[in-house]
Structure 1
Amino acid sequence: MKTRAVIESLSLGERQSVEFISDCRDLELVGQAVCGFLNTSGGYIVCGVDERGELTGIDRAAELAKSLEQGLQRGLSPGALVSVQVQEVEGKELLVIEVPAGKDLPYAFENTIYLREGQATRKADVETIRDMVLRKQVEPERWERRFSPADMNEDLDRDEVRSVVMAVKRSGRFRFRNGSDPVMVLEDLAVSRYGRLTNGGDVLFGANPAMRYPQVRVRAACFSTGRADDTYRDMKSFEGPLVPVLESVYDFIQRNTPTISRFGENNLERRDEPLYPPAAIREGLVNAFAHRDYSDFSGGIAVYVYSNRLEIWNAGRFPEGVTPDSLLSGHISVLRNPDIAHVLYLRGLMEKMGRGSVMIRKACAERGLPLPRWSEDDRGVTLTFFGPEVTTEVTTEVTTEVTPEVTTEVTPEVTPEVTPEVT
């Protein structure tokens, strides 16, 4: 199997930087390559493939992935979101290390700064280091890194802090100095400094960040038809810490989406499933929360459920070099809010940073749905999921519980059993 075929099998994108390592048990070698990618334009490291593209595989891959991730967290400075995942190709387990372009240059591994040049990793020279430091000084500070006016004692949601500590204990992806001390936990996550929350920390762990930043509210509406009008089936505004809001919005979509009934070819047993693939919906929502522009006070996130489609909009823009076409083939993730993304990763909500769009597309195709569409305009980015072109046998079991904010009543008479064929 040649290297190009491996890249295609893993949906790494045709124009991305990829390094193949047959055995990645050498933490120093892997750490240097990761550091080099962080200090340049990002890339992938694939372990278990030799330079000729022959699959060698990795023994006890899951165990090695956990060990590598912990070693990289310890060795990298400043901390960075680096994903280590087990992938299977032709019956062999590989490790894919996904490295985004770093936002906090320069990065060092074991106190040495490395760069990526072509297919090689080298130590950075003094002039290059000086240039990176000067660039960092003149670039504006990211919104998520600025201090929030939130009070650490009054405005902190300690349950959310405990939730991330418990998630890390289960996954082993990170090590806190003292998991029982909320202040130290937040400092370790780079969302608190000098006893103050950053904006990113407020969005993630503030009890009600919308009091300080109204743009973090999420609007959701369900319409009875295929167009926006005054006939709402359900409507709600969500606010609170990021993860509970994300989960509430996901529940809103599931509550207002019909159920599709399918029958097996060889038996009479009916199988009920949501109209849209749940994993694809969750991935689309996580991307919206992770990549949106939080600094725009007129921005936000909005979800619209129509009779024939679902739209997830966020106030952001595609990063430079990312287009709707590149989203369909895989790309290196360009993180607008790396601190927020890191916590989502530790919570198990964010995995395939640059390949989530490929997963969304694949999940829709496997369900027989039209391919989703990403679009961008002056207002932001919209991800649209389309329902079946012809209605399947739908048991439209849409919950008729509506939220207090609804302006019109929900008609409980939903079409019982229409039989569409999914193309």
Structure 2
Amino acid sequence: MTASALIMRRPASHTVAAAEALLRREPADDLALFHEAPDAAQLAATLAALANAHGGAVVLAPTNALPDALADLTQSACLLAQPPLILPLPELLTLPGGLVAMINVPSGLPHVYSVYGVYWTRMAAQNRPLTTEELRRLLMQRDPGSAGFESTAVPGSRLDDLDPSRVRAYVQALSGLAADTVEEVLLSRGCLTDTGGALAPTVAGILLFGRDPQRFLRSAEVIAVRYQGADMSDEFVRQDIRGALPQQVRLAEAFVADHMRRTNRIRGLAREEVPEYPISVVREALVNAVAHRDYAARGEGIRLLMFSDRLQVYSPGRLPGHVTLDNLLAERYSRNEAIVQILSDMGFSERLGYGMDRMVRVMSEHGLPPPQFTETAAGFQVTLRNGGEMIAASAPASAAGEAPALRWRGLNLNPRQESALQFLAQRGRITNSDYQALQPEVSAETLRRDLADLVDQGILLRVGEKRATYYILK
């Protein structure tokens, strides 16, 4: 059985009823139906036409078709396009009339696609060649400057610069493929390229599966910083997050979760904890930053900055293609189609770049201001604002004229810890030596446990290591 056949064998997201409804429709600008098996060139032209237009679906419903035949046909068609089409995995559904393959072509793909030198588009339910003017306009729209960088070979890289355990986990989760088909899968997903008879990792391959991606792309990292106040200051916690992109997303999300403040509210008769920011919105911002940044831009990485009143995620690279701040919630464009699709395969999102409107909705559901989207001279930034006074009231931040016993009332603190917090409210930071001076009769181990407990409760942040360690209010 071929690799492409196995790639298609995954749980379908379409229902049988939805597939039958598509089969009852007439062909349209966003739908192509094949009741007889097309040849690879005909299918490739249809896929390219949809990709060059606004996306859509192709339904293959030939009588008595075999899964392997449909899979091979789809794989061949995608590889006939120039550049090769990287699409979501096709779905196989068994209907009363037989087997159906459904191929989704997302909108906003970054290239202009041709088949045997002809650039196709979809109009009036038909494929037709683009006119010279249409082709010129489309080439201008689709950001020729940086689109395609992810598909270039990484100078000096070799196949063994890819982590085999990461590759194997992806391929097995994707389809359960045998080891001898791995290179074929990576080629079809844009992670390898043929450099004149030899295979080499692409930028996407190194970023997604590399043993040490930063060896080749130094700025492909996330700089995460948590400041104590609303402005940058000398009091901060920093983590430089490197590694493959999936690892960066997970570690950046963990950084936010570890450094978010939380408060409690009563709903009905139950007390529930409310985070500073909905973690699903934070995840969407991080995944989009990692997936859509311009990796051709050198010298700076993604910046994740947490302040007392907001969280900012900055990604190098201005909005790509035809996307602007005005149409951001409606338009789709993938600067890095291979990275986007593979992160989607890994379950980070259904299809990346489709979550901006979801971020707005979830923030509203949590009673928070909508995200602020900003384009800078060289990048794109998302700003999330927290609940302000509600969140501030949950943390033991200083308040002029308020007695410490009232400020920290309701927290499970001993008198020693209350004295440490009072010291912090006045001085801004406390060291182990400061605490020992406050409690000279108490053992160093007991005081260490006191401070560790305040960190575990989310009241303090620990900064530094060993003898340089100090604590600040979270």
TM-score > 0.5 by shorter chain: yes
* Per-residue deviation, 1:150: 4.8
Select the residue among 216, 222, 225 that pairs with 1:218: 222
* Per-residue deviation, 1:69: 10
* Per-residue deviation, 1:287: 0.7
Does structure 1 retain, via aligned residues, the 8 Å contact 2:291–2:352?
Answer: no
Residue in structure 1 matched with residue 78 of structure 2 by the alignment: 76
2:54 is equivalent to residue 42 of structure 1: yes
* Per-residue deviation, 1:216: 0.7
Distance across 2 between alignment mates of 1:70 and 1:338: 22
CA spacing shift, 1:370–1:25, aligned 2, 3 Å: farther
Residue in structure 1 matched with residue 258 of structure 2 by the alignment: 255
* Per-residue deviation, 1:347: 0.9
Residue in structure 2 matched with residue 165 of structure 1 by the alignment: 171
Of 26-35 and 364-373, more deviation after overlay is shown by 26-35
SS in 1 for 2:208: helix
Does structure 2 retain, via aligned residues, the 8 Å contact 1:262–1:393?
Answer: no
Does structure 2 retain, via aligned residues, the 8 Å contact 1:223–1:229?
Answer: yes
Alignment of 1:114-133 (within 5 A): 115-124=120-129
2:297 is equivalent to residue 296 of structure 1: yes
Alignment of 1:96-115 (within 5 A): 97=104, 99-107=106-114, 115=120
TM-score when normalising by structure 2: 0.63
Distance across 2 between alignment mates of 1:275 and 1:165: 37
Of the two, which has the highest radius of gyration? 2
Aligned partner letter, 1:219: I
Distance across 1 between alignment mates of 2:31 and 2:191: 34
Alignment of 1:269-280 (within 5 A): 269-280=270-281
Residue in structure 2 matched with residue 410 of structure 1 by the alignment: 471
2:241 is equivalent to residue 238 of structure 1: yes
1:228-284 deviation per Cα after TM superposition (whole angstroms, max 9, x unaligned): 11111x2110111111111111100111111232322xx311122422111111111
1:77-105 deviation per Cα after TM superposition (whole angstroms, max 9, x unaligned): 323234889xxxxxxxxx99562344454
CA spacing shift, 1:214–1:122, aligned 2, 3 Å: same
Residue in structure 2 matched with residue 306 of structure 1 by the alignment: 307
* Per-residue deviation, 1:42: 2.8
Does structure 2 retain, via aligned residues, the 8 Å contact 1:277–1:363?
Answer: yes
Distance across 2 between alignment mates of 1:105 and 1:164: 28
SS in 2 for 1:363: helix
* Per-residue deviation, 1:306: 0.8
CA spacing shift, 1:390–1:140, aligned 2, 3 Å: closer
CA spacing shift, 1:98–1:359, aligned 2, 3 Å: farther
Of 199-208 and 347-356, more deviation after overlay is shown by 347-356
CA spacing shift, 1:279–1:128, aligned 2, 3 Å: same
1:353-406 deviation per Cα after TM superposition (whole angstroms, max 9, x unaligned): 442100111110111100110101113111000001431596555385757579
Residue in structure 2 matched with residue 343 of structure 1 by the alignment: 342
TM-score when normalising by structure 1: 0.69
SS in 1 for 2:328: helix
CA spacing shift, 1:112–1:72, aligned 2, 3 Å: farther
Does structure 2 retain, via aligned residues, the 8 Å contact 1:216–1:300?
Answer: yes
Distance across 2 between alignment mates of 1:25 and 1:394: 64
Distance across 1 between alignment mates of 2:49 and 2:341: 19
Does structure 1 retain, via aligned residues, the 8 Å contact 2:363–2:369?
Answer: yes
Unpaired segments of 5 or more residues in structure 2?
A: 1-27, 60-69, 92-101, 396-456
User: Across the two proteins, how many residue pairs are aligned to each other?
Assistant: 352
Does structure 2 retain, via aligned residues, the 8 Å contact 1:218–1:300?
Answer: yes
CA spacing shift, 1:128–1:227, aligned 2, 3 Å: closer
Distance across 2 between alignment mates of 1:399 and 1:181: 51
Distance across 1 between alignment mates of 2:74 and 2:464: 48
Aligned partner letter, 1:241: A
TM-align CA RMSD: 4.2
* Per-residue deviation, 1:212: 2.2
CA spacing shift, 1:309–1:139, aligned 2, 3 Å: closer
CA spacing shift, 1:379–1:404, aligned 2, 3 Å: farther
Aligned partner letter, 2:343: L
CA spacing shift, 1:128–1:277, aligned 2, 3 Å: same
Aligned partner letter, 1:315: P
Does structure 2 retain, via aligned residues, the 8 Å contact 1:83–1:98?
Answer: no
Does structure 1 retain, via aligned residues, the 8 Å contact 2:48–2:113?
Answer: no
CA spacing shift, 1:46–1:269, aligned 2, 3 Å: farther
2:458 is equivalent to residue 398 of structure 1: yes
Residue in structure 2 matched with residue 89 of structure 1 by the alignment: none
2:159 is equivalent to residue 147 of structure 1: no
Residue in structure 2 matched with residue 190 of structure 1 by the alignment: 190
Does structure 2 retain, via aligned residues, the 8 Å contact 1:42–1:102?
Answer: no
Unpaired segments of 5 or more residues in structure 1?
A: 1-17, 48-67, 86-94, 171-175, 415-423
Residue in structure 1 matched with residue 210 of structure 2 by the alignment: 206
Residue in structure 2 matched with residue 59 of structure 1 by the alignment: none
